[in-house]
Amino acid sequence: MTQKKQEDKKVKTAKIIDGKEVSKALKDKIKKEVAEIIDKGEDGPHLAAVIVGNDPASETYVKSKEKAAHSVGMMSSVYRYPENTSEEELLKVIDFLNEDPDIDGFIVQLPLPGHIDENKIIERISPAKDVDGFHPVNVGKMAIGQPGFLPATPAGILELLKYYNIDTEGKNCVVLGRSNIVGSPMSILMSKKGYPGNSTVTLCHSKTENLKEITKNADILIVAIGKPGFVTEDMVKDGAVVIDVGIHRVEDKESPKGYKLVGDVDFENVKKKASYITPVPGGVGPMTIASLLNNTLKAYKKEYYK
């Protein structure tokens, strides 16, 4: 066999982007800074999370956020309210947290029950405490490139690209999904000047025609479409960098929990084609949490708002 043929026979597989490792590196940096603040005799950052109802995934995420805050030496409080909490009551909670000088930043975990208008809640959060980066003021600042809180998941993805030195300049970056919390901000950030950025961005959504033709052109494919296993290997260019933001619980009788986690990407097959790929779990999820802590530290230091 010629050497060329032998090389062709080797099973290629992507480098796994390790969100746990990168989030640990970021948390270690935050932890060090928090320790220095506390050594000066200050209280240090305090993050609060509001959760309404009993969505099991939200419960898991908020618990992880609280645990992560403690792991870097931050204070953390969780405010729990029942499913039938009214919009009025929740707005009062927001007002209270906005006013409380001991709370540096807080989040309202989404989704909220159907009878509550999420936009109305988000708009009530003081932009200076909006460590999720969801308030229109922070979204606007991000869009025009002014300093402000970046949404945690897109910020976390930028950290992953940086950590692995992934070249983004002049590359075709295709984002699947146009949500306010991931797809839309991600598309804006990747098109910005600088690194990571300077990409040529295409934002695809449910009305996109010829999706596969577009995704096949992606050097960087960021998937936040909310459909398990949606991206199959025939949609991916050889050597693409694939970032999977999806997270779904699918039934798995063999697992003690009764479910397993999968992303929006058919990981097992796509990894044979990609150059880099994020796994689910252990990819983007841990970065969302680390970025939230990073924002909370910035809120404490009043980096963006006096």
Active site residue: 27, 104, 129, 132, which one?
Answer: 132
The distance of closest approach from Cβ of residue 132 to ligand L34 in the complex, given in angstroms and rounded to an integer, is 5
3-state secondary structure of 172: strand
CB-based contact 65:288 (threshold 8 Å): no
x/- mask, ligand L34, residues 52-91, rule CB under 6 A, reads --------xx--x---------------------------
The distance of closest approach from Cβ of residue 98 to ligand L34 in the complex, given in angstroms and rounded to an integer, is 16
Between 61 and 300, CB nearer to ligand L34: 61
According to the binding rule CB under 6 A, does residue 179 interact with ligand L34?
no
According to the binding rule CB under 6 A, does residue 293 interact with ligand L34?
no
Q: Which position has the token pair 């924002």?
A: 295
User: Does 65 participate in catalysis according to the annotation?
Assistant: yes
Helix axes 19-39, 284-300, angle to 10 degrees: 20
Residues 6+ apart with CB under 8 A from 170: 198, 199, 200
According to the binding rule CB under 6 A, does residue 47 interact with ligand L34?
no
- The total of other beta-carbon atoms located within 10 Å of residue 69's CB is 26
Q: Taking contact as CB under 6 A, which single stretch among the options 86-94, 98-106, 212-220, 286-294 is the one that binds ligand L34?
A: 286-294
For every residue of 89-148, DSSP letters joined together read HHHHHHHHHHH-TT--EEEE-SPPPTTS-HHHHHHHS-GGGBTT--SHHHHHHHHHT-SS
Indicate the DSSP class of residue 265: B
Residue selected from 66, 132, 159, 219 as contacting ligand L34 according to rule CB under 6 A: 132
Between 50 and 236, CB nearer to ligand L34: 50
Active site residue: 109, 219, 264, 298, which one?
Answer: 109
Q: Taking contact as CB under 6 A, which single stretch among the options 33-41, 137-145, 189-197, 280-288 is the one that binds ligand L34?
A: 280-288
∠ Cα 58 135 291 (to 5°): 55
According to the binding rule CB under 6 A, does residue 281 interact with ligand L34?
yes
Catalytic site positions:
65, 109, 132
